[in-house]
Structure 1
């Protein structure tokens, strides 16, 4: 299994070199190790001293000296010391795992999160919990190991064996979105069985005694021992697969062994504390920054343990910072993984800004397709419209109670019976919401892809939907009595803010493909972490009300909720279509529209504004619906070619069709229970996205 081909390079020519007469590498490594330990000792002491009980550093010192501290000692031993021990074990595991994953893949962003290991393990554990399975710790580890291994294998197989940073992130993000949608759906469908799981889902160090920690520590120590034994092989594999084989390294067997060991360690960490995000990305990245300055640090027998120490520092530092900022009482409800996810998202944005931006021409070629029906565009468009009408009628008639066309006709004339009236009065607004939101997201995706000339751009993937969901959840959680117009306005403001950040940072490279997507993915992680904080800090036992926004559901929609979205569609859909010639020019290259007299900055801003407005109102209406803005425009171009005169309206029809069908299936597959529409769109969109990622790979 070739996990990567991007060769690890030596330090650049301009990197600082050790001066003549400098201390030997062993001293520098010892100094670095000592510095990390000097940071960890007081950090651990502060970590133990923080809490809701009045136990300070003085009581801690007295307890360590053996003095009788009474109840204070019990607080430290029974509550805080297990929390500290969990942070030490999990931080070390994730730091070491991220280090070796980056080495064997020769990719600086490889980590348990990016490879979807944590998402797979989390889904497996939540599935076991909601199904009523009560397993011992090692049973949980086995379940998490199976889920994480399947997820990692899926990412590696579907993204191919030759990929760079962006393809790995996109493939892992797509699989994580799919697995996350499944997990969220389980949390919504089983609110009683999953009570308290939402906070744990983001990674919490809270422990009930030392029982779990005693079981996870041997797994972590054994994994570290195996990785250290493989250190020499990992050093040689950094030269490249062929060179390593020539030197006698069994490359394939080493890669498989590393993958199994790292997934096992990640599974044990997830089973103990939940998925604490991005420690496996941040800790090794910070250590690798010191490689040019510390001779010998590039060797894995030094790199792995120091990454483990840095992982502990990141985890404990995040927990200490959380309690210092929010206070001990409020921080109890907020998981530590929220802080590390914020750090990981910001680190990904910083990485995007440091990477040399690739040309947009490769991404633009993904827009250059020859439609299969360009000779009969009108017939194809009419066919898509007819299919949409049939789907809408079916969605109105089918549900927990099936109706007939005659019932629909009577209801339209106001002559239906009471039961039929009640059913249709609740079902029709849901169908209309799905139709309008699907059309809005599809046209938003069409505009964003054309303006940025990026075939992989999507409102959800590049962070715009995440900003809208943050704005909506902010109002829902902090002001429960706020009207729907306030929610819509807040969602729109969040979308605008997110779009401004993403487009401003990526515009420096001319909306280069790598930079735009990496900034958007990083911002998505930041907004998700903030949404999690809002949910668990305000009402952790009623998280379903805000999870609705994250999973995308038409449940409980009324005509009042549709008014802002209807107005946005009425204004911005025709406006986007009217600019179809501008979309055609902007999607070609940077020079052609300027030569033809088009004011590129103003036109780009106008069309991006249309996409942001449509996204914000759609998210406010039915929540986060992923991949519609990606699938519908590509399907329209595949059918009709790249002329936006046809692509915009057909993409709107296809987007509406996709969400209407997803909502219909969600209401009927497990009736009377319901699945969010966002789950079904993720199930459809993830394979399509991975295929598109493969199709648009760099030559």
Structure 2
């Protein structure tokens, strides 16, 4: 297995600190301006809320004449303000520190799955009815976040094996952890009520107890990072140079990682995971580098990033309540706004991403050449497994039936009870099989176009676009028919694809840039879906969670018809372009030399993948990892030629989703686990193994 990303050298998140003594006046000026802006935003923040207390009422507090305003201020607004202040500083420091040790501008508590690990730890305790004080909960969140960050950094060679590799590793880990979190939210809905909105970062605070307990922890971590600032300046010069200068590189990285995760865990414990503040704040500060070069010194960068984090958090909250009203600050998580901002920053950074160059290799680079007889054997075995998965799906569930009952049902001679069971079951099995096949074909196509075995339709924003369209229609038009849902999901997928493809185009299509921009679109689309659920249907989060987790519950024959039509029409079209797909996996020059109209072929191939994905999402909701696992497994079995990969991948995808759906319907019957959660839990170990296997081949540029 070859490394999917092999840049000639890592992209540093920071420049080496400028030589000479820093200009005190410039640094003081930028600190004064940032502090003044943060104070202004904080003052505006205090004037907003659900009560009628405004700026003039708060000014009367200076004379001590307005007890009502004082009660509102102390009971509600000050705790919210202080919470935003605390997490803004914590996440700003954490993001700057993580970017420095990874030397990667996209490292953050979100992209390294720190927030996802901390969130899962807290929800796991709440699901079983255990209420922990702030400090023990923070310790638990710290353990979860540190474990997740350690896994991601290990899989991505410390973040220096390439930006795309780091983001893919972090996104896959975060998706798996979020799947477990979502499973707990579904299975323990009463015990975890309210944690869905909180899981997207809410500044609502009942009192100051948690803040007062966590404030010393945050303060100690901030001081420790400031003391390590000089070491981080030396580390920015490169590992070899830092070692020559006497710095213990490994110990410094470990200490900084622990402190950054501690800050992130404290923020998650206090308000839930507020998205992308740790990414945006340091990036915004570093944009001042041409004007104030001293911002690259960590004892300037870290506190400025903390102040920028405060401005982002409080500014997002101010914007939310200014546009949506005071009640929106209670109902809608602030993290939705920060995630949208972070998605925009991620897309902007991705557009500046350097191409990996000629060192890129096709996704099936090390697949063995197989004989025709072996290929036919694999197809036969895969077909048998898919058929067995269909049969098992028909036999099992909350009510088990026998094979003879299925035969009688086909002949129309079963009793009412079994007829009802099987009439309800077959559309679910069909939806799982067809959606799995569609996602596998789409994933094969995307991996060929991107020349990246770690790509799948979901990370190109297609899944989020389809999900946003479908959830939006179900939210505003609950009685919409299946064709309307499928149509809107298709439009959403195609719009998302068009936006991602257009944003990734800069004199040509760079595959790494396409993946990174798609990830930004995915995060932004997920934030918008959360907004729709929380703002317009807050008492029915179970329905939305089930949809976002990928479920076949309640499906009818009519609902699976669109994905069947898409498969029948688009799979032959993709198969007809198998030669072009084979050539595109090599490089950009070979297809052009052999007469392939590269850009048009890419556009048509990705368009077919978008349509297949949209119909699958409309049929079963959001299911991840199928488009990753099935094509890669198929290439490992039959080699890299798409004439062989496509049928095997389709059969494996159908079998995977069908088995996941059957397992989810059976293992805790009559309760059910959505198929998307099961596929995520199955796919993540495979993804981690894939990253680990390719890690040795990744360049370890120092």
Is the structural similarity TM-score above 0.5?
Answer: yes
TM range, normalised to the smaller chain? over 0.9
Which residue of 2 is the match for residue 608 of structure 1? 606
Question: For residues 610 and 513 of structure 1, do their structure 2 counterparts lie closer, same or farther at Cα, with a shift above 3 Å needed?
Answer: closer
Which residue of 2 is the match for residue 69 of structure 1? 66
Which residue of 2 is the match for residue 287 of structure 1? 285
Q: Deviations over 1:107-139 (max 9, x none)?
A: 211111111110000011111111111111112
Q: Which moved more, 1:33-42 or 1:666-675?
A: 666-675
Quote the Cα distance in structure 2 between the aligned partners of 1:687 and 1:373. Answer: 30
Which residue of 1 is the match for residue 152 of structure 2? 155
Quote the Cα distance in structure 1 between the aligned partners of 2:481 and 2:14. Answer: 58
**1:586–1:593 contact (8 Å) kept in structure 2:** yes
**2:622–2:676 contact (8 Å) kept in structure 1:** yes
Which residue of 2 is the match for residue 108 of structure 1? 105
Which residue of 2 is the match for residue 129 of structure 1? 126
Which residue of 1 is the match for residue 3 of structure 2? none
> Does residue 82 in structure 1 map to residue 82 in structure 2?
no
Question: For residues 683 and 169 of structure 1, do their structure 2 counterparts lie closer, same or farther at Cα, with a shift above 3 Å needed?
Answer: same
Which residue of 2 is the match for residue 259 of structure 1? 257
Question: For residues 9 and 584 of structure 1, do their structure 2 counterparts lie closer, same or farther at Cα, with a shift above 3 Å needed?
Answer: closer
Q: Deviations over 1:505-551 (max 9, x none)?
A: 22436432320111111111100110010000012121111122211
Question: For residues 208 and 689 of structure 1, do their structure 2 counterparts lie closer, same or farther at Cα, with a shift above 3 Å needed?
Answer: same
1:431 offset after TM fit, Å? Answer: 0.8
Which residue of 1 is the match for residue 522 of structure 2? 524
Quote the Cα distance in structure 2 between the aligned partners of 1:7 and 1:657. Answer: 40
Question: For residues 574 and 194 of structure 1, do their structure 2 counterparts lie closer, same or farther at Cα, with a shift above 3 Å needed?
Answer: same
Question: For residues 7 and 622 of structure 1, do their structure 2 counterparts lie closer, same or farther at Cα, with a shift above 3 Å needed?
Answer: closer
Quote the Cα distance in structure 2 between the aligned partners of 1:516 and 1:323. Answer: 34
1:354-503 equivalent positions in 2, closer than 5 A: 354-359=352-357, 362-364=360-362, 366=364, 369-372=367-370, 374-503=372-501
Question: For residues 631 and 248 of structure 1, do their structure 2 counterparts lie closer, same or farther at Cα, with a shift above 3 Å needed?
Answer: same
Find 1:581's aligned residue among 579, 586, 597. 579
Find 2:190's aligned residue among 176, 192, 204. 192
Q: Deviations over 1:159-183 (max 9, x none)?
A: 3344222211111111001011111
Find 1:94's aligned residue among 91, 94, 117. 91
1:242 offset after TM fit, Å? Answer: 3.1
Find 1:168's aligned residue among 152, 166, 181. 166
Quote the Cα distance in structure 1 between the aligned partners of 2:640 and 2:293. Answer: 54
1:25 offset after TM fit, Å? Answer: 1.2
1:8 offset after TM fit, Å? Answer: 4.5
**1:187–1:198 contact (8 Å) kept in structure 2:** yes
Q: Which moved more, 1:434-443 or 1:132-141?
A: 132-141
Quote the Cα distance in structure 2 between the aligned partners of 1:196 and 1:32. Answer: 40
Quote the Cα distance in structure 2 between the aligned partners of 1:645 and 1:381. Answer: 12
Quote the Cα distance in structure 2 between the aligned partners of 1:154 and 1:375. Answer: 40
Quote the Cα distance in structure 1 between the aligned partners of 2:504 and 2:12. Answer: 26
Quote the Cα distance in structure 2 between the aligned partners of 1:7 and 1:447. Answer: 29
Unaligned runs of 5+ residues in structure 1 are: none
1:479 offset after TM fit, Å? Answer: 1.4
Which residue of 2 is the match for residue 506 of structure 1? 504
Q: Which moved more, 1:641-650 or 1:400-409?
A: 641-650
1:59 offset after TM fit, Å? Answer: 1.1
1:332 offset after TM fit, Å? Answer: 2.4
Q: Which moved more, 1:422-431 or 1:201-210?
A: 422-431
Q: Which moved more, 1:30-39 or 1:662-671?
A: 662-671
Which residue of 2 is the match for residue 320 of structure 1? 318
1:372 offset after TM fit, Å? Answer: 4.6
Q: Deviations over 1:294-344 (max 9, x none)?
A: 243322222211111111111001111111121222342110001111111
Quote the Cα distance in structure 2 between the aligned partners of 1:244 and 1:417. Answer: 77
**1:477–1:546 contact (8 Å) kept in structure 2:** no
Quote the Cα distance in structure 1 between the aligned partners of 2:600 and 2:196. Answer: 43
Calculate the aligned-residue CA RMSD, in Å: 2.3
Quote the Cα distance in structure 2 between the aligned partners of 1:159 and 1:8. Answer: 15
Quote the Cα distance in structure 2 between the aligned partners of 1:302 and 1:644. Answer: 53
| Secondary structure of residue in 2 paired with 1:296 | helix
Q: Deviations over 1:416-467 (max 9, x none)?
A: 1222112211221111100000000111112222234333321012211111
Which residue of 2 is the match for residue 223 of structure 1? 221
Aligned length: 689
> Does residue 638 in structure 1 map to residue 636 in structure 2?
yes
Quote the Cα distance in structure 1 between the aligned partners of 2:97 and 2:596. Answer: 50
1:260 offset after TM fit, Å? Answer: 1.7
Q: Which moved more, 1:477-486 or 1:656-665?
A: 477-486
**2:361–2:586 contact (8 Å) kept in structure 1:** no
| Secondary structure of residue in 2 paired with 1:543 | helix
**2:363–2:447 contact (8 Å) kept in structure 1:** no
1:636 offset after TM fit, Å? Answer: 1.5
Question: For residues 632 and 8 of structure 1, do their structure 2 counterparts lie closer, same or farther at Cα, with a shift above 3 Å needed?
Answer: closer
Question: For residues 303 and 608 of structure 1, do their structure 2 counterparts lie closer, same or farther at Cα, with a shift above 3 Å needed?
Answer: closer
Unaligned runs of 5+ residues in structure 2 are: 1-6
| Secondary structure of residue in 2 paired with 1:461 | helix
Q: Which moved more, 1:329-338 or 1:372-381?
A: 372-381
**1:284–1:307 contact (8 Å) kept in structure 2:** yes
Quote the Cα distance in structure 1 between the aligned partners of 2:381 and 2:169. Answer: 33
Which residue of 2 is the match for residue 49 of structure 1? 47
**1:6–1:105 contact (8 Å) kept in structure 2:** no
| Secondary structure of residue in 2 paired with 1:236 | helix
Q: Deviations over 1:157-208 (max 9, x none)?
A: 2233442222111111110010111111111122211211111000010100
Q: Which moved more, 1:152-161 or 1:531-540?
A: 152-161
Quote the Cα distance in structure 2 between the aligned partners of 1:481 and 1:409. Answer: 35
What TM-score, normalized by structure 2, do the two folds share? 0.94
Quote the Cα distance in structure 2 between the aligned partners of 1:217 and 1:638. Answer: 51
**1:433–1:554 contact (8 Å) kept in structure 2:** yes
Quote the Cα distance in structure 2 between the aligned partners of 1:156 and 1:572. Answer: 39
Which residue of 2 is the match for residue 60 of structure 1? 58
Question: For residues 584 and 235 of structure 1, do their structure 2 counterparts lie closer, same or farther at Cα, with a shift above 3 Å needed?
Answer: closer
Find 1:648's aligned residue among 633, 646, 649. 646
Quote the Cα distance in structure 1 between the aligned partners of 2:282 and 2:405. Answer: 63
Quote the Cα distance in structure 2 between the aligned partners of 1:635 and 1:437. Answer: 18
Q: Which moved more, 1:608-617 or 1:359-368?
A: 359-368
